[in-house]
Amino acid sequence: MLTGKLCGRSFIRGFLIEMENKDCVFCKIVNKKIPAEVIYEDDKCLVIPDKFPATKGQSLVITKKHEDYIMNLDSKVYQHIFNVARKISLAIDKAFDTERTCIVVEGFEVPHVHIRLHPAYEKRLLTSGFEEGIIELKKVVNKIKENL
């Protein structure tokens, strides 16, 4: 097996893999070091329910590559995560009969690019949440997946 390092990156069997940020909770989730319920996953991003939702169905679209500012993403990855956000938002709307699902991008609490999909059940946005248990998170994941 070929392994090595090149400019802060590692490669295994000829595939270049970005190094994770060792302290980043989202890197740990992406790399399966912290368990998470998964709504959607591909080679560029992962979608999970927010463990601290302000509203039922709140979810996170997380890039697999660690980057702390969304405007630093490659334009193809940027477009891709917004396409995924749209797809999952429509499934959330259907699954939970929302008024709409809002998109929030800020990245201050966890400095790793992520899009928060924030379901709104009335014409206002609730922003503070509570920790959700694993059973409820699994129910949310299954309900969204049923509507993809």
Catalytic residues: 114
Q: Which residues contact 114 (CB under 8 A, 6 or more apart)?
A: 26, 60, 61, 62, 63, 105, 107
Tokens 């477009």 correspond to what residue?
79
Q: Number of helices (H) and strands (E), helices first, in the chain?
A: 3, 8
* E strand residue ranges, 32-126: 40-41, 45-49, 59-63, 100-104, 114-120
Residue 105 class from Cβ within 10 Å (0-12 exposed, 13-18 middle, 19+ buried)? middle
Q: Of the candidates 64, 53, 59, 62, which has an alpha carbon nearest to the alpha carbon of residue 16?
A: 64
